[in-house]
Structure 1
Amino acid sequence: MPLRLSTWIVLLLTLVGSHGHAQGIEVVTEETTYGYLRDGRVVGPASAVVEATLQRAGLNDYHMAVYPWARAYDMALQQPNVLIYLIARNPAREPLFHWVGEVLRVEYHLYRLRGQEHIQVHSLADAKRYRIGVQRGDVRQQYLKGQGFTKLVVSAHERENFRRLLNHQVQLMPLPERDAAKLCAEAGIDPARLERVFTLDDLATGLYMAYSRSTAEELVARSRAAFASLEGEGLVSRMMMDAP
């Protein structure tokens, strides 16, 4: 007995849903110097690496968007066919994602406002005495909380914490050097107003592209091969050198 048209449609939709590339890829990131919105489009050096990877993999059905980090991270945890960047790789996150490739390495430093000499940090234990601004869901929040920090001030955006630092509502912020310079530039202040007081050596890490765990293996394999190809040609490091 021939199948009804409606049955064929259901079967077709089921087949499409079972192949990640047919559904399209949702590419998510937060706003940084490496990925940001310009004229309604997500640009930046890391964004260029992601797009080059997907295009070389032949995965042209994708959409890129900028979200607060906690939302982007939650999407990558909960939904299939989500590609998130730049995400720090650590033992706790290792089984949660399919890791595609390391886009760059980063170090985090604790910064205070210049002139706040009473804020003295010579060890991680010293830092526990102070209010520290962190971003919700970020690896810095997770790390410091895991180290027993109880004075964390959590915000959805890095800029909120930076305003709190300038207003003396928090006393320290953990930032990569490039992000510290960017926040100062956006606020129109001299970068010399920030002073690095301590480096979080245990947080030095690679920042990656990674797929949500429920993403089709075919997408992951093709993306890994494409990224390795770009990296082998020196194109990843060349694109990242274009960072402002």
Structure 2
Amino acid sequence: MQSTPDTALLAAGRNVEREHQYAWVGPLVSSTPYLFKLSSREDVSVSSFADLKFYRIGLTRRGVMVPTFKKLGLKVPENLILVSGAEETYGMLFQKRVDLILGSDLTMPYNLRNLGYELDALEPVIQIDYEGSGNHLALHKSYSAESIERLNARIKKMWNSGEIEGIIDSYRLLPKSIND
């Protein structure tokens, strides 16, 4: 996308590493990231980040969270199994090829439903601190500043009116806080 003018990526995680690569619109949505395990896996027990070194975690290769896990000392391929898309991580988890996958209180239930799994098939084991600012529309830098300003103004208006929260709620299958 960086080499193709007039393109955009929805929804991209925004963080320090990506900040200067794109022009940004948003945030469009923000949710809390967690690592999830199969509910049936009593052998997977995580009480701290140090415990993660004993497990294999499925992540998307270009995901915004990969650097976060590497900073924790986790390594590819010993601990981090990188795949092309989030759907692959679910398949690997259910096939027990990985022990944990990344998801959020918003994305995990939505993906489970779309992939035909029961909502109680997974459970969160640890919340991940994330230094980003939510998911955005990442635009190629060829977009005009005026267009980006208009889009950001419209998104801000939608947030202020509650319209975006309403859209998010229509996808939410769990309470707003996974810890409730």
Classify the TM-score, shorter chain.
0.7 to 0.9
Structure 2 unaligned residues grouped into runs of 5+: 173-180
The aligned residue for residue 175 of structure 1 is 103
Whose radius of gyration is greater, 1 or 2?
1
Is contact 1:83-1:210 (8 Å) kept? yes
The aligned residue for residue 88 of structure 1 is 13
CA distance in 1, matches of 2:110, 2:162: 26
CA distance in 2, matches of 1:82, 1:137: 17
- The 4+ residue runs of structure 1 with deviation greater than 6 A are none
Structure 1 unaligned residues grouped into runs of 5+: 1-74
CA distance in 1, matches of 2:137, 2:125: 30
Deviations 1:5-33 (A, max 9, x none): xxxxxxxxxxxxxxxxxxxxxxxxxxxxx
The aligned residue for residue 192 of structure 1 is 120
CA distance in 2, matches of 1:177, 1:234: 19
Match among 212, 216, 221 for residue 144 of structure 2? 216
Task: Say yes or no: does 1:119 pair with 2:47.
Answer: no
Task: Say yes or no: does 1:131 pair with 2:52.
Answer: no
CA distance in 1, matches of 2:167, 2:111: 22
The aligned residue for residue 104 of structure 1 is 29
Match among 152, 163, 166 for residue 238 of structure 1? 166
The letter for the 1-side match of 2:50 is A
Q: How many residues align?
A: 169
For structure 1, which segment, 139-148 or 116-125, has the greater mean C-alpha deviation from structure 2 after superposition? 139-148
The aligned residue for residue 59 of structure 1 is none
What is the deviation of 1:187?
4.1
Deviations 1:110-163 (A, max 9, x none): 111123222221111211221110112011223213432112111112221111
Structure 2 length normalisation: TM-score? 0.81
CA distance in 2, matches of 1:109, 1:129: 17
Match among 122, 142, 145 for residue 67 of structure 2? 142
5 Å matches for 1:22-101? 75=1, 77-101=2-26
CA-based RMSD: 2.2
